Structure 1
Amino acid sequence: MTSRPCQYFEKVIFHLHHRLVHLALKKHHHGASRY
């Protein structure tokens, strides 16, 4: 096994974190533009 499970989880967590950050930024931007 060349790819370890922890590496896979790391990639998934990174992807999810990136999406969460993107959503948070979008929400923040939307809220800021509303006022």
Structure 2
Amino acid sequence: MQLGVENQEAAELLAKAGIDVVMNRCIMVEHDRLCR
């Protein structure tokens, strides 16, 4: 999970398998946002 990292083909395969997909996110940024 890092800003700018995306793979649409892999995301589609995972989604079809019922697996949640997170792309183009930074854990530190999201943590900071949630803790405000």
| Alignment TM class, shorter chain as reference | 0.3 to 0.5
TM normalised by structure 1 equals 0.34
TM normalised by structure 2 equals 0.33
Which has the higher relative contact order, 1 or 2, with Cα contacts under 8 A spaced 6 or more apart? Answer: 2
Of the two, which has the highest radius of gyration? 1
Specify which structure has the higher proportion of helix.
1
